[in-house]
Each structure stands twice: as C-alpha cells, then as structure tokens.
Structure 1
C-alpha cells in the first residue's frame, strides 16, 4: 500500500513538473511573439536602441542574416515547402519553436511559411503563393466581396522562392489541413488564378500529405456505425 501511494505521489510530482515546464515554454514563446509584433508596430517602449558609435548591432545583424538565408534565389535543387495545419504556425512564430520538429533548421531549402492559423483554405493557398513568389497577397476580387474581407493582404517584398515556375518547381508537404491548402493551390496554379503570373500545374513537382484530411474524417464512419447499430 505504501509503495502504491509513493508511486502516486511520484507520478503527481512528475506530472506537475512537466506541466509547469510546458507552460513556461509556451508562455515564453507567446511573450516573444507579442514583443516582436509590438516592436514591428513601432512601439517606442520595445524599440531596440541604436548601437554605440563604432559598434555593430549583433542581434540585428543576426536577424537580417537569418532572413537573407531564408530566401532561396536559385532553382536547383528544388526546395521543400512544409505547410502547417489549423492552429499551426510557421518559422519565426512562438519564439522560434518549430512545428515540424526543426526540419527547417537543418536545411535552408526547407521552407515553413507562417500562414493564417484559422483562415480559410482559399486564403491560405493565396498567401502561400505570394510567400514563395513575392508581392502583395491578392485574395481575389470576387472572393473578397463574397466573404466580406479586404482583397489585399501582407506584402512580401522578396519572395522566398522568386524563381518559382515550371522550370523551377517545388515539393509541397502538407500536414493536416495543410494538405488541403497545397491541393487548392495546385488547382489555382492550373487555372492561372494569379493575375500577372503565367502559372500551370507543372509548377509543382510533388504533393505529399501527412495525416491530411483528404477524405473527411474517420469520425463520420464512427458516427455512421453508431447510427446503424441503433
């Protein structure tokens, strides 16, 4: 009996430690995101002070170098674009945490765009195109009017793969709802749905799904079985 109680206490302490550590990691990451967003908005309280004369701002230089290395300028070998699912996040979010277990940190040609976590599949597909090619995100005139939001979004002054075309295609890997995003984008490319760009389905070298919701969810089959049994 004593060993059983001791085991429960040990389990409780271990669970509490892991929960607290997880909360610490998550809260630190969120705080970093808030700080980054506030600094980008021009908040004077969070603006980095200029370096002293003759000194180099190492942190700023590192950020600039990281952004530069994140831009792929040539077309060989083709990059691999990892697309997150709902509630997901891309590179640079949550304090540097990685949605894809650090894959983007092992090779500069592995790209992880930060798309809307709760936006529609259509909007995320449009954002993904301009993330790679560059330019201002255009959600489309008809779509923006039907769904009541602005037509234009974020501006990518330099795309992460500006040479993207049928001669320089890419590999897409979509996780969960990200698989739907890359399939919709592939269809948009085939339909030449991006003004000013002569796209085609040949811009995509491969599409890979990781637990993608391609045929709905197994929950529907489960509910159907319950319905039959009752």
Structure 2
C-alpha cells in the first residue's frame, strides 16, 4: 500500500512537471509569434513620413570606450530540460530574446534530454572550443560514445581564471552550471588547468540547488 502511494506521488509529480514545461513552451512560442506580428504591424502602420524637411533631431549618447566594453564578462544562459539554445528553432528564443540584446549574452544549445553530466561537458567545450569529450569511464558506464559535437571555434576561447563568466541557469540548467563549476575545481577537463574561479557568479531561475521533496520520497535522509 505504501509502495503504491509513493508510485502515485511520483506519477503525479511527473504529470505536473510535464504540464508546467508544456505551458512554458507555449508561452515562449506565443511570445515569439506576438513579437513578430507586432514588428510587422509596426512597420506597416508607422512608416516614417518624409515631408521634405531636412531638419533633424540630434540625439547624444554617452558612449562607453571600446576597451571597457570588451572587458565586460559574458553572461551564459543555460536552458533546462526540454529547452533549446540559440538557432535550434529559428527565431524562437528560450530566454525571451535576451541573447538579441547584447552580443555578450550567450545561449548554448545543449542536449534537451541528456544527463546533467553530459550537458556540463558540452557547455565547457561550447565555450572553449574543440570536440566534446564525455570521458572514457563515464561513456563506458552509460553506454554512449566518448566524443560528441565538434566546436571548431569556441564562443569564448579566452575563458580562464583571468576571464571568468557569469552563468544563469533555468530549471535543470542551474544544476548543469553547478556541476560544471565542480568539474572545473576538480580539473576534470584533460589538457586544461581549470579552477572554480573560472566562474564569476551563478544565478538560478527556478533551479533546484538544494534538492526537492522527490529526493526524500526516494529515500534520502
């Protein structure tokens, strides 16, 4: 009877989780469509009118020196389960177009249903470049290929302790970032002298940093 109750709770948790992700996906899709429609209507209804007046309004902006802009650390947005990165679904954006606001905002396209471990490895090579290496022992244990996608040019190849990065993880993406920082501290990437200081900050958006009630249902004390 107790086992049946636990099974029912786990099934209910799966249903609720799937429903939440489905609603979030519909929200992203509808937001993207609404944005495209509004831009199209704006172009049609509010075209600039040239009345032959050569007068213009001068707008002054306080410009930031180029060297200071380039010194700002990038922000990497990591999606969760069933998520997607920049370019996978055309113009759709998982993070509501955040990557379009600034070139220093990066949105990697990691595995949607792969393990947190695999996605942490993919995230490292997405930034540094090279072929994803999941590790010989891990690959043998999990029964998949040791090597994955090849990133000919990393999206932030200068990444190191002197050039750390801000990470923002949504849902399971937060766990990916935490595991990545642990891997960096453990120097788990062959050929790289990494450390936990490669990470400047970690921000969680609905991420489970300290576990969920599910862990207790599964027997964790």
- Residue 120 in 1 paired to residue 115 in 2? yes
Change in 2 beyond 3 A, CA 1:143/1:106: same
Match of 1:167 among 144, 151, 162: 162
* Count of aligned residue pairs for this structure pair: 156
Unmatched segments (≥5 aa) in structure 1 = 1-21, 30-73, 223-230
Change in 2 beyond 3 A, CA 1:148/1:220: closer
* Residue deviations 1:78-131 (CA, integer Å, cap 9, x gap): 000000000000000112200001000000000000000000000000000000
TM-score, length-normalised on structure 1? Answer: 0.63
- Residue 202 in 1 paired to residue 202 in 2? no
State how far apart, in whole Å, the 1-side matches of 2:99 and 2:81 are: 19
Match of 2:127 among 129, 132, 137: 132
Q: CA shift at 1:216, angstroms?
A: 2.6
Unmatched segments (≥5 aa) in structure 2 = 1-24, 33-66
Structure having the larger proportion of residues in helix: 1
Q: Give the aligned CA root-mean-square deviation in angstroms.
A: 2.5
Q: Report what 2:77 is aligned to.
A: 82
**Superposed counterparts of 1:65-104, under 5 Å:** 76-104=71-99
TM-score, length-normalised on structure 2? Answer: 0.66
State how far apart, in whole Å, the 1-side matches of 2:144 and 2:215 are: 32
Secondary structure of 1:207's counterpart equals: strand
Runs of 4+ in structure 1 off by over 6 angstroms are: 219-222
